[in-house]
Structure 1
Amino acid sequence: MTAQPEITQRDLRTRSKEIMDAVQDGQAFTVTRDGHPIAELIPLRRRRRFVPRGEFATMSRTAPEISLDAFRADQGPTAEQQSDDPYAR
């Protein structure tokens, strides 16, 4: 694991645009006050909404084969269960 660069609270205040741009690009920082670490500034993980067709095709080719009969056998006992009515007495 690589060490995160340290920035002072004052640096964060005066260079906020530059630092936030670096965070947006994936850089993490340790914020210090009076020489003591007080916080970590880390980028948020973003969830992708779109997977390119080529990437999906590659993932599909390497995915394990699924047996439809085994899937149905696994689901059968679950589907046959009756839910209990909490109001029936």
Structure 2
Amino acid sequence: MSAQPEITQRDLRNRSKEIMDAVQGGQSFTVTRDGHQIGELIPLRRRRRFVPREEFAGMSRTAPDISLDAFRADQDRTAEQGTDDPYAR
């Protein structure tokens, strides 16, 4: 049994605005055709652009310590160290 409401392909076609408004509001649907489930209509997850300062500070307090020397060595191993500057003389 589906945890989200089922809508038929015909309902999706005939009530698309109403259904899309519900999806925009966070509702998910299982789409059926001829009584068979064929897909899901789900809202996209919204990515946060900013993290509140207090949340960042809280995460930072529990983050593991890093070795700056090891971090720099990792960067040096993965980054090309040669100069490919066509304007360099």
TM-score (norm 2): 0.66
- Extract unaligned runs of 5+ from structure 2: 84-89
Where does residue 56 of structure 1 map in the other structure? 56
- Extract unaligned runs of 5+ from structure 1: 84-89
Q: Any runs of at least 4 consecutive aligned residues in structure 1 with deviations exceeding 4 A, and if so which?
A: 76-83
CA distance in 1, matches of 2:78, 2:44: 38
Where does residue 20 of structure 2 map in the other structure? 20
CA distance in 2, matches of 1:22, 1:36: 22
Q: What per-residue deviation string (whole Å, max 9, x for no partner) do you get for residues 55-79 of structure 1?
A: 2122212211112122234344456
Superposition deviation, residue 80 in structure 1? 7.8
**Superposed CA RMSD:** 2.7
Where does residue 45 of structure 1 map in the other structure? 45
One-letter identity of the residue aligned with 2:18: E
One-letter identity of the residue aligned with 2:51: V
SS of 2:13's equivalent?
A: helix
SS of 2:32's equivalent?
A: strand
CA distance in 1, matches of 2:77, 2:18: 58
CA distance in 1, matches of 2:30, 2:55: 35
One-letter identity of the residue aligned with 2:68: L
CA distance in 1, matches of 2:40, 2:32: 9
CA distance in 2, matches of 1:23, 1:16: 10
State the identity %.
84
User: Paired residues, what number?
Assistant: 83
One-letter identity of the residue aligned with 1:57: A
